[in-house]
Amino acid sequence: MDLKLKVWRQKNPESPGGLVDYDATGVNPDMSFLEMLDVVNEGLIEKGEDPIAFDHDCREGICGSCSLTINGIPHGPQKAIATCQLHMRHFENGQTVVIEPFRARPFPVMKDLIVDRGRFDQIIEAGGYISARTGSAPEANSIPIPKQTTDRAMDAAECIGCGACVAACPNASAMLFVGAKVTHLNSMPQGRPERDRRVLKMVASMEEAGFGNCTNTFECVAACPKEIKGEVMAQMYRDYVKALFRQAIRPE
């Protein structure tokens, strides 16, 4: 199959960028989207041109680094997959495919299709961890945890921090990402001693990073490759309000 690509090219964060046309010919329908870009890059290198820069690592839908917007949709037209899991059989012969980086002010473009998602790391550093020493793995039944609680925590822990939620949101909100991290850690007994400090610091870091506010359009949920539920945002709101109340009546 043959495709016409319109790819965003940008030399560095300071340079202006724009869409450049490329022909992808002889594409195998069983290729992944990133493999198709590899083939295009091989052709560019053979011609002595600068290859298209894009992020990738595991190519198994685990790391979340393949942050591409394909025809206006983060990670492309298929639901519940990352870009690396998207195959070319989902496109039609002769189709025009527009490939852009994730668009959000807190995710500046570094080069071509690569964005800096370091703001997510700053949010995690603010409180997305458990500081108590846990030692070696405890006996499985030493701390009985209801299945509903473990299911909620494990579902939230599936978030890979890819940033598709931010790219899909009209406000560039990171509420789904932060909600997933807060819900994951605050649900488990090991994370509860720091739950107030965690949610307050992570929300403050999110706001400082310049992410927008949530207006409940739920585009984030639709774009999430791991199908994180909007319930995690509701849980974060509840934890945040409770933390503010406890801080007001018992300031540190």
DSSP code, position 139: P
Domain check: are 182 and 213 in the same one?
A: yes
* Greater model confidence, 187 or 250: 187
What mean pLDDT is predicted for residues 56-74?
96
Domain check: are 182 and 219 in the same one?
A: yes
Average pLDDT, rounded, for the chain: 95
**Distance separating the N- and C-terminal Cα atoms of the chain:** 64
Distance of CA 136 to the CA centre of its chain: 31
Number of structural domains (the chain) is 2
What mean pLDDT is predicted for residues 104-111?
97
pLDDT value for 134: 64
pLDDT value for 144: 85
pLDDT value for 140: 67
Domain check: are 9 and 61 in the same one?
A: yes
Domain check: are 227 and 104 in the same one?
A: no
Domain check: are 199 and 81 in the same one?
A: no
What mean pLDDT is predicted for residues 25-54?
97
Domain check: are 228 and 122 in the same one?
A: yes
Strands 73-74 and 68-70: antiparallel
Strand partners, 214: none
Structure tokens at 178: 């932060």
Q: How far, in Å, are 17, 49, 223 from residue 9 at the CA level?
A: 6, 12, 24
What mean pLDDT is predicted for residues 81-90?
97
Can you tell me whether residue 102 is helix, strand or coil? coil
pLDDT value for 112: 98
Structure tokens at 40: 């295009």
CATH number at residue 196: 1.10.1060.10
What mean pLDDT is predicted for residues 66-75?
97
State the residue range of the domain holding 64.
Answer: 3-111
Domain check: are 128 and 235 in the same one?
A: yes
Strands 3-9 and 96-101: parallel
Domain check: are 89 and 163 in the same one?
A: no
Phi, psi at 174, each rounded to 5°: -105, 20
Domain check: are 9 and 101 in the same one?
A: yes
CATH number at residue 12: 3.10.20.30
* Greater model confidence, 91 or 141: 91
* pLDDT, tens digit, 9 for 90 and up, residues 122-179: 999 999 998 877 677 777 677 788 999 999 999 999 999 999 999 999 999 999 999 9
* pLDDT, tens digit, 9 for 90 and up, residues 178-213: 999 999 999 998 899 999 999 999 999 999 999 999
What mean pLDDT is predicted for residues 29-42?
97
Quick one: which of 166, 176, 170, 171 has its CA closest to 213?
171
Domain check: are 126 and 227 in the same one?
A: yes
Domain check: are 84 and 125 in the same one?
A: no
Domain check: are 190 and 92 in the same one?
A: no
What mean pLDDT is predicted for residues 96-124?
97
* pLDDT, tens digit, 9 for 90 and up, residues 214-247: 999 999 999 999 999 999 999 999 999 999 999 9
pLDDT value for 145: 87
pLDDT value for 252: 61
